[in-house]
Amino acid sequence: MVESVAFEIYRKSPEHVAGLREISSLWRSEPGGFWTFDHVIEALQRPAVKLFFVCAPGENRWQAAVLVDVGPYSADLLYVYVRPELRRSGIGRIAMNNLFTWLANNPGDQPGSAPKEELLLEVRLSNAPAIAMYESFGMTRVCVRKSYYADGEDGLVFKRKVKP
């Protein structure tokens, strides 16, 4: 069970870059993993893309990371990741809960933006843990995108109101 963690937004400080570099070195071992360190740094060039991390207070080692593309009215979850040895202990739930809270309260950087109404995401049909987590958050299946991923796997689209 997780005791106490912080959910922080990434700033381009040396500590944060080191935290991202370390956790992203693990991502390539995920089935169909796409997001390398370089991909995340490139995505963060766009002001709409935000990176959050979960950390125990006073620790530099990230427990989880969340990458999200924040549009004017809705947001797209690009990636959520929990360190393998910490899974099934509630960290993914903490990260998602904090993300929903942040989206409900932050307008984002785009002109005319307001707090977000909806969160959307795509997930591989084979990713049972992630699908179970999204469904446990009351996210609903919108459609299947045929051969959405580069290796031909279908993607399942989920959505949920930020404030259900």
Ligand X SMILES: CC(C)(COP(=O)(O)OP(=O)(O)OC[C@H]1O[C@@H](n2cnc3c(N)ncnc32)[C@H](O)[C@@H]1OP(=O)(O)O)[C@@H](O)C(=O)NCCC(=O)NCCS
CB closer to ligand X, 23 vs 162: 23
User: Residues touching ligand X: how many (CB under 6 A)?
Assistant: 20
Query: How far apart are alpha carbons 107 and 118 in whole angstroms?
Result: 13
The residues near 153 (Cβ < 8 Å, ≥ 6 apart) are 32, 124, 125, 126, 147
Copy the structure tokens of residue 37.
Answer: 């360190």
Closer residue to ligand X (CB): 10 or 79? 79
User: Cα(56)–Cα(123) distance, rounded to whole angstroms?
Assistant: 27
By C-alpha distance, which of 109, 121, 77, 111 is closest to 95? Answer: 77
Nearer to ligand X (CB atom), residue 113 or residue 120: 120
Residues 111-140 that bind ligand X (CB under 6 A): 123, 127-130, 132-133, 136
Among 54, 70, 82, 99, binds ligand X (CB under 6 A): 82
- Contacts with ligand X, residue ranges (CB under 6 A): 30, 79-82, 87-93, 123, 127-130, 132-133, 136
